Structure 1
Amino acid sequence: MQRRVLVGFLLGLCGVVVFGATLPMTRLSLDDLGPWFISFGRATIGGVLAVGVLAAIGRPRPLRGRILVDLLLATATLVFIFPLLMAVAIQTVPAAHGGVVLGLLPLTTALAAMLFAGERPGLPLVAASAVGAGLVAAFALRNGAADGLGAGDGLLVLSVIACSSGYAITGRLARSMGGWEVICYMLILALPVNLVGTLLSFPARPEAVALTSWAALAYLGVFSQFVGFFFWNTGLAMGGIAKVGQVQLLQTFVTVGLAWPVNGEVPDAETLAFAAAVVAVVAFAQRTGRPRPPAP
């Protein structure tokens, strides 16, 4: 594995560890907070941090043309659509279960890399993604609602499509601007809407909200919505969106592991077996050749 790809993989892994706690923390915050407030609130926290970072560094960048369009698309998918769909879905499915469904991300990210970033991942990489997606689908069918896939699973799949599209766009942006800049400008563009949404959905009795719920929301705003993207966007740009995207399969294992201490969801043998299987798929995907360069 080339050094640049290896560094991209390690940065992506750091991002995955941060993102792996997102579902457990979202479920924890839902004990006292509504999904709308969580979605707007986490993005508002991230937006305030982004303003502080850019103000401290003092490197304003003119936003116009293709960069502005890409930033708006990434903002719509990653700041609004994905968090909201996930917060609504996780009300009806366990965090560990949701974590395995989100294992679809590597396949959809590889496809999005072809559609939005001009990458041409090799057949072994696409095949590994498909195998991982098949394992995820099997898990969801075996553990969904009594009649098969439930509404929560459907919302999670839609959130996956939105998320992977956003990942591909931010990875493309990070080739020409810093990964930290990408997430900062996204959150700043979304800040006016998120501020209004936060105020409108603010809890009627904030003093009744448990400290653990506020702490979970703080994690989502500082790490899931902000710091994690510093690692993730840079990793995608350095190692290739499709290839580094395979690291997301490890997020399943992180989420399942954290759902135990955070949400009290003790994983059963079947969940652990599926998680181990998708981890094996990641190992195989990283042994494949580097994806061909983006089309000019």
Structure 2
Amino acid sequence: MTAQNSAILPTPIAVNDSVSRRGTVLASLGVVAFSLTFPATAWGLESFGPWSLVSLRSVLAAVLAGGFLLALRVAPPAREHWGGLAVVGAGVVVGFPLLTTLALRTSTTSHAAVVVGLLPLTTAALSALRTGARPSRRFWVAAVAGAAVVLAFTVAQSGGSLSAGDGYLFGALLVCAAGYTEGGRLARVLPGWQVVGWALVLCLPLSLAGSVLGLAYEPVRLTGHGVAGLVWAAAGSTFLGLYVWYRGMAEIGAPRASQLQLAQPLLTLVWSVALLGEHLSPAAPAAACAVLVCIAVTQRTT
């Protein structure tokens, strides 16, 4: 009996380690997808107005998600989950894209990355309030330090000045953190892609109405960049990115997953240089190393 017990005891640990690694990889893929959102939005604004871009992005993502739900004959969620899905839709599908798109009319992508730099800490705080999770003091110290590094770096990149879009950016920070927190909770009882899919479908009537009104009142000048930006924002950031993000967050927890996003502003700056021609400060490597240290600490202190 003892030998048998000793043989099987390591198994749960190995499974847990495997799940943790898988969750970290999935959440990291979500961060990579999200890091392209601001450059893609800047491209999309070359062809569409802000209201049209956000609405069309949501419509295309909802069509993609709805197609998967229909093809796989997925039953609608239970009634008790629709309230949470509404929070996900309001925060992640509508609120964050709209507010950041409005901000990017006057702010650079590097300045907008301030929002993403503060998002992990806000998500962890809201998650603690919503779920009762209590990360360690060391976790919070590392999280605050990482947020401070990212905030200082991104503000320095924008010249240290505050733009007119800051109100939109801070509003986007709050609604997105709420959507991430609620989505991470739902992803424990529903597959992550279904959380995203049903939230998109729930918002489809509003997105369709917004598309009709936006296209009626805002000019459209189709360009290759504009179309590519719209397609990526819809399929890459809104559908695929949210799918792997919520799946990863369900497996490793919202506080740990949120800290992986500390790398997102730096990735966004890299894409901004490569895709938008913005100039990257020589301080970027030092900031990247500091952020990676904070991420390593937070991943070991849940």
**Normalising by structure 1, what TM-score?**
0.90
The 1:56/1:281 distance shift into structure 2, 3 A limit, reads: same
* Correspondence 1:137 to 2:151: yes
Whether contact under 8 Å (2:111, 2:155) holds in the other structure is: no
Aligned in 2, Cα 1:258/1:143: closer, same or farther, shift over 3 Å? closer
Show the 5 A alignment for 1:1-296: 2-65=17-80, 67-144=81-158, 148-202=161-215, 206=220, 208-286=221-299, 288-289=300-301, 291=302
**1:160-193 Cα shifts (integer Å, max 9, x gaps):** 1111111110000000010011000000000011
Confirm or deny: 8 A CA contact 2:39 2:276 kept in the other structure: yes
Query: Unaligned 5+ residue runs, structure 1?
Result: 292-296
Cα RMSD of the aligned pairs, angstroms, is 1.9
Shift of 1:199: 1.4
Shift of 1:140: 4.9
TM-score w.r.t. structure 2 length? 0.88
Percent identity, aligned pairs only, is: 34
Cα 1:97–1:273 shift into 2, 3 Å: farther
One-letter amino acid matched to 2:108? P
- CA contact 2:57–2:233 (8 Å) conserved in 1: yes
Amino acid at match of 2:268: T
Distance in 2 (CA, whole Å) between partners of 1:251 and 1:142 is: 16
- CA 35–271 in structure 1, closer or farther in 2 if over 3 Å, else same: farther
Question: Are the equivalent residues in 2 in contact too, given 1:96–1:267 (CA < 8 A)?
Answer: no
SS at match of 1:238: helix
Structure 2's unaligned 5+ residue stretches are 1-15
Report the CA distance shift for 1:39/1:205 in structure 2 as closer, same or farther (over 3 A).
closer
Query: By how many angstroms is 1:194 displaced?
Result: 0.1
Alpha-carbon contact 1:101-1:136 (below 8 Å) kept: no
Structure of larger gyration radius: 2
- Matched with 2:3 is none
Q: CA deviation at 1:142?
A: 3.8
Q: Contact 2:266/2:284 (CA < 8 Å) preserved in 1?
A: no
Output the CA distance in 2 between the equivalents of 1:157 and 1:144: 16
Q: Which amino acid aligns with 2:247?
A: T
When residues 284 and 240 of structure 1 are mapped into structure 2, their CA distance, relative to the original with a 3 A threshold, is: same
Structure 2 counterpart of 1:294: none
